[in-house]
Structure formats: C-alpha cells, structure tokens
Amino acid sequence: MPIISITVKTSMSKILVTGATGQLGSEIKTIATNYPQHDFTFADRSALDISNLCKLEDYFDDKTFDVIINCAAYTAVDKAENENDLADTINHRAVSLLAKIAKKKNMTFIHISTDYVFDGQNYRPYIETDTTDPQGVYGRTKQDGENAILDVALKNSIIIRTSWVYSSFGSNFVKTMLRLGKERDALGVIFDQVGTPTYAHDLAKTILDILPQINNESPEIYHYSNEGVISWYDFSQAIFELSKIQCQINPITTDQYPTQAKRPHYSLLNKSKIKNNFEITIPYWRDSLKKCLKELGEIK
C-alpha cells in the first residue's frame, strides 16, 4: 500500500461539483453549509454538460477552482449497451479532459467510479489493486475514465470506486422498492448478487471530510461503500421491514431476471485503505438505510 503524505489545508477552497442534480451531487449540496471553509459551485447539466467536450473546455476559460468533484456520469447500465458512444464520451473522454484541465490549472481532482470495473467473480472483497475486468459497456467506459486519470498523472487526485448507490434524491433501488412495494402484493428480487449499498449522503460527507488531507504526487484509487454484506433480496427485505410495507418478496436468481447488461455477482469492496489513510469510520448499511428512509418520510 503506498504511503501518502497528509497535509491539512485550512484556507478557503473554491470547489466545482459537476453532476450537481444527481444523487451524490445533491447530497453534497445538502451538507455544503457544514463546510463554510469552502466556496461551492454546483453545476448541473444546463450549466455544464460534460458530454459536450468543446463547451466543457470553454467553461474553464474564465473560471478558477481549487477542486473539481466530478459526480457527473452516464449510469444507465443497460442503455449503455446501445449507447456506447455517449457512455464513452461522459465516462471516459470528458473525464480525461477534466483531468487535463485540473493538471493544467493545478486543481485537486476527485472522480467517482464503480464496482462494475470488476468481473464480480471474486471470493473476497476487492482491493484497489485487484485486476479489473468489466463485463459491459458501462463498466468499460468507467474503467477507461480511471485509466485516463492515471495516464494524466495529475497531483492531488483520487478515484473513489463505490457500489449500489442510493439516496433520497433521484432514481435508485430504495425508491423503486418503496414504490413497487406499495403497488403490488408480491415481488421477485435477486438473491444471488451480493455487495454493499452506499448511502450517497455518507459518501458525500466522506469526500468533504477527507478533502483537506488529499496531498499525493500521483492519482490514488480508493474503495468506499457502507459496511456489511447483503444481497438485493436482503436489501429489499430491510426496506420493507423498516417501512412497514406489507409486500411478499420472493428470492429469484439472476437468470430469472435477464437484463441487457451483465451484473457482477460479487461486488464487495474492501475499504481498509480509505479508512486507514484518512482515519475515517464508515456507517453500517442498515443504520444508513434508516436515515435515508427518515429523509423520505417513510419512518419516524
């Protein structure tokens, strides 16, 4: 494991958050006032469409930032199989350009990646140095984005791989289950894919907490999700139990619910590196689920 130098920065930083209306960008916005030492600019697609590479570069002509937190991404896993070019533009080429801009302007760069860079066939939680082998277009374009950052080799840059992201914002598994559970008497949910959910609020807080300590000569990769391990079936059971939704959940296998893109069967991420290097603790998935359900008004 590489040793990083830790320096705490105390001066005000100007931070650009891309993908500001997505799950993670929205969560960062909700806690931004807790970090008065930072001056945030939240750019949604109308302000900064990173799929338009020409306008992306122009955006920085008259703007100066100390930090870019890139929350913008193409995340439609199945649609990506038919929209290869668009997924590649957003997840790879735009990321490469952002990294080059960050290097040119001496900015800290934080990029969010995914467990889909792995093939899902592991037998132990993935560490950052494990071999990647994405099984679909989404995973490949995210891996290409990671590699682009590594190739640019800018200082003070980190890549955070995460998994099963949910939030009170946007579309996600938790909100889908809440809706379906209230509409139907029974649902089939996959039990042979295991991993750990990530409450976007926890990830947002972690990013802002570790930001002052980022001081590395070359890009570093970290893994982050909540603690614990469950299947999608277990996750659904917990959502309904906590929300007191009376809906029968039947366990099904992956082949009983075919999708256009292949999903990893095993998505556990080892978080030891980020916990040790930045001295953070990570909440247990069920505790974070309760917090999200409270935000959604499902429990008191």
Active site residues: 138
Rounded Cα distance, 19 and 15, in Å: 13
Q: How many CB atoms lie within 10 A of CB 103?
A: 17
DSSP label of 284: B
Distance CA 38, CA 33 (A): 9
H or E segment to which residue 143 belongs: helix 137-152
Token pair of 193 as six digits: 């894919």
For residue 287 the two structure tokens come to: 């505790």
Look-up of token digits 């990769």: 221
Measured CA to CA, the distance from residue 40 to residue 17 in angstroms comes to 7
d(CA 210, CA 288): 19
Beta bridge partners of 16: 41, 68
Rounded to whole angstroms, the Cα distance separating 6 from 232 reads 37
Tell me the backbone φ, ψ of residue 131, rounded to 5 degrees: -65, 130
Phi and psi at 14, nearest 5°, equal -95, 120
Q: Nearest-CA neighbor of 68 among 211, 242, 202?
A: 211
